[in-house]
Amino acid sequence: MADVVVDSSPAVDDATKPRGGIWGLLTFWGLHAWVLAYCGVVLSAFYIQFAMGEFPCPLCMLQRYGMFLSSLGALFVIMAARRGELTTARYAQGLGMGLIGVLAGASVSVRQILLHIKPGDEGYGDPVLGIHLYTWAFITFAIVMIYVGVMLMLMPRGIPHAPPAGSTARKISTAIIWLFIGVIAANVIAIIFLEGFAPVLPDDPAGYHLIEQLTGR
Amino acid sequence: MILLLVIALLMWRGANRGVIITLWVVGVVAMIGLFRFHVTSVLDLSF
């Protein structure tokens, strides 16, 4: 008769089991840092767009898209943790979504870096701290890839644990989530103004097409 | 981008996980399509 093998690993897929500890909190806030960091990056891009008058090209916009796509993976995990429904499988799904999102964004960044790799090419837009925005975008995508790798290595110990409902920490979490939703909404409006009635962005935008189309100028 | 906004709002409202992941996959496919549409030139790396 075959020996019975007893699985001694903890039942991490049981959402009803209490989780906690420093690791759970660290990974919960790590996901918020991910979302918040990309909100900061896109808000900085807004500053460059609106205050400095530099219009985002389609590749720039696709990199923002990749940032949002990956942040949705983080948000997926955050929301499951807040509802007390987070399992190892859902955590892995969220991290997987985040990883695919950053890979997609990094592909666009690499394409844009390669477009301007020739000696003498000044690149698209003004550099920030000596590096162009698409190169900065690639750096952030690489950081998130490393982050996801570390989080996967920490599993199941590092499964995020949400603070209790009504606490200040929970309110901060809610504020970050709504900031993220607001930044996506602002980007939607910016794209509508850039595109006007066209289905896609112009290759080299030099103004807000919607305003030009509405005013006839 | 509107799709991403819808996904974020659905996540907040606690929509079905299958719906969220399906829409998210549609978002990835849309991104690949847009990337393919906008990248029409061949890189000249002969320097």
Our CA-based measurement puts residue B1 at a distance from the nearest CA of chain A, in whole angstroms, of 6
pLDDT of residue A33: 95
**pTM assigned to the model:** 0.84
Tell me: the pLDDT tens digits for A122-159?
A: 878 778 888 888 999 999 999 999 999 999 888 877 88
CA gap A97, A73 in Å, rounded: 5
A164: contact with B, CB 8 A cutoff: no
Tell me: the pLDDT tens digits for A14-65?
A: 555 555 678 888 899 999 999 999 999 999 988 988 888 888 888 888 999 9
Q: Residue A5 contacts by C-beta under 8 Å, 6 or more apart in sequence?
A: none
Please state, in angstroms and as integers, the Cα–Cα distance from residue B37 to each residue in A43, A64, A93, A97, following that order.
Answer: 26, 17, 29, 23
Domain ranges of chain B: 2-36
CA gap A172, A5 in Å, rounded: 45
- List CB contacts (< 8 A) between B43 and chain A: 114-115
- List CB contacts (< 8 A) between B5 and chain A: 181, 184-185, 188
CB nearest to A114's CB, from B17, B27, B43? B43
Residue of B nearest to A93 (CA): B21
Please state, in angstroms and as integers, the Cα–Cα distance from residue B35 to each residue in A63, A65, A106, A132, B40, following that order.
Answer: 10, 11, 12, 20, 9
A172 has pLDDT over 90: yes
Domain ranges of chain A: 21-215
